[in-house]
């Protein structure tokens, strides 16, 4: 089956990115078009000013149309924001014929039950992802044929504030562009940078953006945890501006050029001379103090993720280590801080199995948009029609582990 080009869009706090991707017959994805614009009217991954955000999105889509030589009428939206939350819901049913074993009907019934969660009216489900089957409380991979009295399934439910999702869709429709699908940007980042071997070995992907940080953890090939924080690299910039009484633009440059997520001995006694800017006099600051300010904020962000994994009991299952993506992934000292925090090796993530425009495929900052392309093609290839057999649905459910 040949698929038409798809467009992935991410409306981030720092930038809006649009990518055009094409799927080759061998399953390889090629990025053929790209557009980008600095964000305005977006805070912590959420649209706060329609007019300003609209200008940014139109510009990014226009550039993607030009470079990809396509007319964009539909996009696949990678969604982030601190409002995105997760929970694990277990569905349990009696097996219809215990002596004969679990049937496809049993699997379908327990899957529907595990998907059914009572959320408040303002929440909207983004993903329902199967984790682990149990037959009589014993964990099994493929439950079909297992004899037992009960069948259970743990389902990871990712949900968002419905108004934020609808506002993003409304913004795009005013362009006008239709939204074909919405996916959690953290999942997209993991899809872009992780190999099956890393998922099986256990890996944590942290995408550090300007206003938000997302994380996704795999254990034994299963998506074990996911979440989003309303904290990101911009918060470190704000901390620097407040700590040294300097303008935010100067604080951002200082963070990128001289900031470090760990305090280094070489910074002791060193000072930085800051030139005067409009309304602010020139001054000298301690390099060690700068590193301390950045370290405290980054340690806070990683610490929140650490406590989530400890609560779920999966911290010791990160055999493949930590992978950093997002615009903040290259911050000096961040890999070292992550290794200390999670007691696991850490690397910068780059998209795998995807080629094309180097700007998109070589930089960790574009992982979520690149992963959205992969998500879109996987969704298009997954049978969802009423004619699909229960066995086919089960096969897809088990084989396509996000």
Q: Encoding tokens for residue 183?
A: 């996916």
Same domain, 154 and 221: no
Q: How confident is the model at residue 76 (pLDDT cuts 50, 70, 90)?
A: very high
Handedness of CA 365, 367, 373, 379 (dihedral sign): negative
Final residue in a domain of this structure, among 132, 160, 188? 160
Contact between residue 179 and residue 172 where contact means Cβ atoms under 8 Å apart? yes
* Stated pTM of the model: 0.91
Beta strands in 136-282 (DSSP E): 138-140, 150-161, 178-184, 203-208, 213-219, 222-229, 271-274
Same domain, 288 and 145: no
Say if residue 32 is preceded by a cis peptide, omega within 30 of 0: no
Same domain, 152 and 217: no
Count of structural domains within the chain: 2
Q: Give the CATH number of the domain where residue 304 resides.
A: 3.30.420.40
pLDDT of 103 > 50? The answer is yes
Give domain status of residue 127, yes or no. Answer: yes
Residue 225's domain comprises: 198-349
Same domain, 213 and 344: yes
Same domain, 212 and 144: no
Give domain status of residue 283, yes or no. Answer: yes
Question: What pLDDT was estimated at residue 400?
Answer: 40
Give domain status of residue 114, yes or no. Answer: yes
Final residue in a domain of this structure, among 104, 131, 160? 160
pLDDT in tens, 33-60: 999 999 998 888 888 899 999 999 999 9
Same domain, 211 and 311: yes
Same domain, 115 and 250: no
Give domain status of residue 38, yes or no. Answer: no
Contact between residue 153 and residue 312 where contact means Cβ atoms under 8 Å apart? no
Same domain, 304 and 240: yes
Give domain status of residue 402, yes or no. Answer: no
Same domain, 146 and 279: no
pLDDT in tens, 294-346: 999 999 999 999 999 999 999 999 999 999 999 999 999 999 999 999 999 99
pLDDT in tens, 264-304: 888 788 899 999 988 888 889 999 999 999 999 999 999 99
Question: What pLDDT was estimated at residue 7?
Answer: 97
Q: Give the CATH number of the domain where residue 126 resides.
A: 3.30.1490.110
Distance separating alpha carbons of residues 361 and 359, to the nearest angstrom: 6
Final residue in a domain of this structure, among 160, 179, 206? 160
Contact between residue 329 and residue 365 where contact means Cβ atoms under 8 Å apart? yes
Task: Please name the residues in contact with 77: beta carbons below 8 A apart, sequence gap of 6 or more.
Answer: 9, 10, 11, 168, 169, 172, 179, 181, 182, 183, 372
The DSSP code for 317 is G
Same domain, 255 and 345: yes
- In angstroms, the Cα distances linking 131 to 228, 285, 400 are 19, 50, 11
Largest separation between any pair of C-alpha atoms in the chain: 82
Give domain status of residue 177, yes or no. Answer: no
Same domain, 94 and 223: no
Give domain status of residue 357, yes or no. Answer: no
Same domain, 153 and 252: no
Give domain status of residue 333, yes or no. Answer: yes
């Amino acid at each position: 089956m040949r698929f038409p080009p798809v467009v992935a869009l991410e409306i981030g706090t720092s930038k809006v990115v649009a990518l055009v991707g094409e799927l080759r017959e061998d399953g390889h994805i090629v990025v053929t078009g790209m557009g980008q614009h600095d964000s305005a009217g977006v805070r912590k991954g959420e649209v706060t000013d329609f007019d300003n955000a609209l200008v940014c999105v139109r510009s990014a889509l226009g550039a993607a149309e030009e470079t990809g030589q396509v007319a964009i009428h539909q996009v696949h939206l990678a969604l982030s924001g601190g409002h995105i939350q997760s929970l694990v819901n277990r569905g349990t049913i009696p097996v219809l014929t215990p002596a004969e074993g679990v049937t496809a009907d049993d699997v379908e019934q327990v899957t529907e039950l595990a998907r059914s969660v009572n959320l408040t009216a303002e929440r909207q489900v983004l993903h329902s992802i199967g984790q682990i089957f149990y037959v009589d409380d014993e964990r099994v991979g493929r439950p079909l044929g297992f004899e037992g009295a009960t069948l259970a399934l743990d389902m990871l439910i990712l949900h968002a504030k419905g108004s934020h999702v609808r506002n993003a869709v409304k913004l795009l429709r005013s362009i006008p562009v239709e939204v074909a699908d919405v996916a959690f940007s953290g999942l997209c980042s993991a899809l872009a940078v992780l190999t099956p071997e890393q998922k099986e070995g256990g890996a944590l992907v942290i995408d550090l953006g300007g206003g938000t940080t997302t994380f996704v953890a795999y254990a034994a090939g299963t998506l074990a945890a996911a979440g989003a924080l309303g904290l990101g690299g911009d918060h470190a910039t704000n901390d620097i501006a407040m700590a040294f009484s300097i303008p935010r633009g100067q604080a951002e440059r200082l963070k990128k050029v001289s900031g470090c997520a760990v305090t280094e001995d070489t910074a002791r006694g060193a000072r930085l001379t800051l030139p005067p800017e409009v309304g602010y006099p020139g001054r000298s600051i301690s390099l060690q103090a700068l590193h301390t300010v950045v370290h405290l904020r980054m340690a806070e962000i990683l610490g929140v993720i650490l406590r989530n994994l400890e609560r779920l009991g999966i911290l010791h299952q990160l055999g493949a280590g930590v992978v950093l993506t997002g615009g903040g992934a290259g911050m000096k000292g961040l890999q070292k801080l992550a290794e200390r925090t999670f007691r696991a090796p850490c690397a910068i993530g780059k998209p795998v199995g995807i080629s094309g425009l180097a700007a998109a495929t070589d930089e960790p900052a574009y992982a979520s948009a690149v992963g959205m392309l992969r998500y879109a093609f996987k969704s298009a290839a997954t049978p969802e029609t009423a004619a699909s057999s229960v066995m086919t649905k089960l096969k897809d459910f088990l084989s396509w582990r996000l």
